[in-house]
Amino acid sequence: MSSTVISHDAMHHDDHGHHHETFLTKYVFSQDHKMIAKQFLITGIIMAVFAMLLSILFRIQLAWPDKDFPILEVFLGKWAEGGRIKPDFFLSLVTIHGTMMVFFVLTAGLSGTFSNLLIPYQLGARDMASPLMNMLSYWFFFTACVIMIASFFVESGPASAGWTIYPPLSSVPTAIPGSGLGMTLWLASMVLFIASQVLGGVNYISTILNMRTKGMDLWRMPLTIWAFFLTAIVGLLSFPVLVSAVVLLIFDRSAGTSFYLSDLVVQGEILPNEGGSPILFQHLFWFLGHPEVYIVVMPAMGITSEVISTNSRKPIFGYHAMVYSLVGITVLSFIVWGHHMFVTGMNPFLGGVFMITTLIIAVPSAVKAFNYTATLWRGNIRFTPAMLFAIGMVSFFISGGVTGLFVGNAALDIHLHDTYFVVAHFHLVMGSASIFGMLCGVYHWYPKLFGRMMNTKLGYLHFWLTFLGAYLVFFPMHFMGVDGVPRRYYAFTEFPFMEKWVSVNLLITWAAIVAALGQVAFLVNFFGSIWKGKKAVQNPWGANTLEWTTPVEHIHGNWPGEIPTVYRWPYDYSKPGHDEDFIPQTVPFSQTMSSNQMHDFEGDEEAMRIQEEWNKENNRVE
């Protein structure tokens, strides 16, 4: 299959008649994986900025609960009458912030960008298995984003039942204004989003399984590809369950069914629904919801592995263990969802079982963290902005991961459930860690995306502001949670024991504002460098993977000639005996006789014999 593609593109590349592309086919309805990756990335960045602004709004409310900010009324109108955000709108803000960050930024923005960019590039494919599906995947995602933002222009406001949209709050419009049209739009947006994810996921999986270049067996794939592959599998198996949950919720809201509703007296009105269970929704939701956090964090792990290895000039430590731990996380991620529901009244014995599976998943996660550390050990570390973000990702993953032992433990979760402790936990381990993985990827592959380099100084500034900011924002929240401050509280002024935390909220909000302004450094750098950046060279980081063998200028089909063949794994950095500190995957062992190790030949006796002969001739002692 791939050979036909090769001959087609290799021979006709320069004089392709049908290469004439209009603006519409090249930039808008593009089917080229590189352009789609850029579309995903830029949409993701826009959504991230939007969601970040929402978070600044509710942080302002939390830090200054008694103060008016008349300028807010200019932008928000009746939702901030007199310059103070209303409780309903506060809940809308946290809801949409969560939804956008989790789904649009960290799922589509992260996976969508880097799976699309790197799967064909790093595997040696001309494009995705189905470019059309790929394009559809982006446009479904884009429509979902537009609908979600459109919900801000609805009279009753955007959805406000939390990003987990638990019914009955989300299904009874009289319970909260956001459960009116805003919720309908949320659900519509989510259905389109899931369609996008399924289209994308099928595409990623089939590309990885079928379109690897010659020599690229599974155990020679970079860890990025392993991560995208397993992420796509998790997404493909779990997102459809969310569709079912959402569709049933739509029925409950619009068709009068009672899947999730029973025994309700809302605002004094007895509702006719009988026989449903709100807990059913939670099971369906978290069957996606928990794998979702791994959908978010696994690509970040893959990207980080690649960047840490490249910039430590050292092979990633324990490549196989890294893959097996990803596989372990993938499998276990499907049987831990109940840990979100320990205190819902689910059978306590079931809670105990979910606790056991949950704490098992900490083992592969711990192995990953140890392996990152071992990779740094005795490396020759180069601190590009991407490397700093990768180190930041590992730091967040550890700091946020350890608190998983608290919230994953059913007994400890009794006290910590739904408090700020949980907010701190997931913002560090899944929010900050994956956003750092994403930014790390942007800095690292920017030359590949746009053919230019980003400004490193702005990159460092961005890293330090964001890194310090994120810690200052999320670390103190643990203590609020231990004190028993529930999340999604509009103000901390109603109960005496919470009042002491208003001062800490001030610190958090200022840190958030500074970190948010720090993102301007990124935006200027990102968008400015598209036109003004220094021209990139072909392989700026001295990396081994295949994408750096393509020309800097994007061409249809990625490689001008034949697709390169792969001879080795992607992590031959600083191999003893070789004159350079990296050996790209395309270099055959015959060209690196001085650095080959018997282990490299995977039991190929002929190759070993040749190597031994060469060793004898050249007096090489291995």
Choose, by CB under 8 A, the member of 28, 53, 132, 356 that binds other proteins: 356
Binders of other proteins among residues 441 to 470 (CB under 8 A) are: 456-458, 460-461, 464, 467-468
Choice between 225 and 264, CB closer to other proteins: 264
Q: Which of 28, 71, 132, 146 binds other proteins (CB under 8 A)?
A: 71
Residue nearer to other proteins on the CB measure, 451 or 476 = 476
Stretch of 107-115, 166-174, 219-227, 437-445 contacting other proteins, by CB under 8 A: 166-174
- Write out the binding residues for other proteins, residues 280-299 only, by CB under 8 A: none
Site for other proteins in 203-222 (CB under 8 A): none
CA gap 578, 576 in Å, rounded: 6
Shortest distance (Å) from residue 195 CB to other proteins = 28
Contact region with other proteins (CB under 8 A), list: 25-33, 143-151, 299-307, 491-499: 491-499
Confirm or reject binding of residue 60 to other proteins (CB under 8 A). no
CB 552 within 8 A of CB 535: yes
CB atoms within 10 A of CB 348: 9
In angstroms, the CA 108 to CA 576 distance is 40
Smallest distance from other proteins to CB 372, Å: 8
195, 391, 439, 543: residue in contact with other proteins (rule CB under 8 A): 391
Determine phi and psi for 256, rounding to 5 degrees: 75, 15
Minimum CB separation of residue 585 from other proteins in Å reads: 15
CA 618 to chain centre: 49
Does residue 378 interact with other proteins by CB under 8 A?
Answer: yes
Of 507, 386, 491, 502, the closest CA to residue 449 belongs to 386
Name, in order, each residue with C-beta under 8 angstroms of 28's C-beta and a sequence gap of 6 or more: none
Site for other proteins in 523-562 (CB under 8 A): 528, 532
Tell the smallest beta-carbon distance from residue 620 to other proteins (Å).
15
Per the CB < 8 A criterion, the answer to whether 327 and 383 are in contact is: no
Return the amino acid letter for 566: V
Taking Cα atoms as reference points, which of 92, 267, 246, 264 lies closest to residue 184?
246
172 binds other proteins, rule: CB under 8 A: yes
Using the structure block, give the residue that is written with the tokens 């619009």: 254
Q: Under the criterion CB under 8 A, does residue 74 sit at the interface with other proteins?
A: yes
According to DSSP, residue 451 is labeled S
Buried b (16+ CB within 10 A) or exposed e, 310-345: bbbbbbbbbbebbbebbebbbebbebbbbbbbbeee
Sketch the per residue contact string, 143 through 162, with other proteins: x for CB under 8 A, - otherwise. ------------------xx
Q: Nearest approach, Cβ of 360 to other proteins (angstroms)?
A: 7
Whole-number Å distance between alpha carbons of 144 and 133: 16
Looking at beta carbons only, is 368 or 448 nearer to other proteins? Answer: 368
Residues 118-137 that bind other proteins (CB under 8 A): none
Contact between 168 and other proteins per CB under 8 A: yes
Distance CA 342, CA 415 (A): 11
Query: Strand, coil or helix: what is 426?
Result: helix
Q: Which stretch binds other proteins (CB under 8 A): 293-301, 309-317, 432-440, 606-614?
A: 309-317
Q: Does 345 bind other proteins (CB under 8 A)?
A: yes
Site string for other proteins, 75-94 (x = CB under 8 A): --x--------xxx--x---
Residue type, 381: I
Question: Per CB under 8 A, which of residues 568..607 are in contact with other proteins?
Answer: 571, 573-576, 581
Stretch 253-272: interaction string toward other proteins, x if CB under 8 A = --------xxxxxxxx-x--
- Range 399-428, binding other proteins (CB under 8 A): 399, 402-403, 405-406, 409-412, 414-415, 417-419
* Sign of the CA dihedral with 231 first, then 356, 396, and 427 last: positive
* Ramachandran angles phi, psi of 266, nearest 5°: -100, 125
Long-range (24+ apart) CB contacts under 8 A made by 592-598 are 593/618, 594/618, 594/620, 597/622, 598/622
- Judged by beta carbon, residue 506 or residue 555, the one nearer other proteins is 506
Indicate which single residue of 388, 393, 433, 563 sits in contact with other proteins (rule: CB under 8 A). Answer: 388
| 380 within 8 A of 312, measured Cβ to Cβ | yes
Binding-site size, other proteins (CB under 8 A):
129
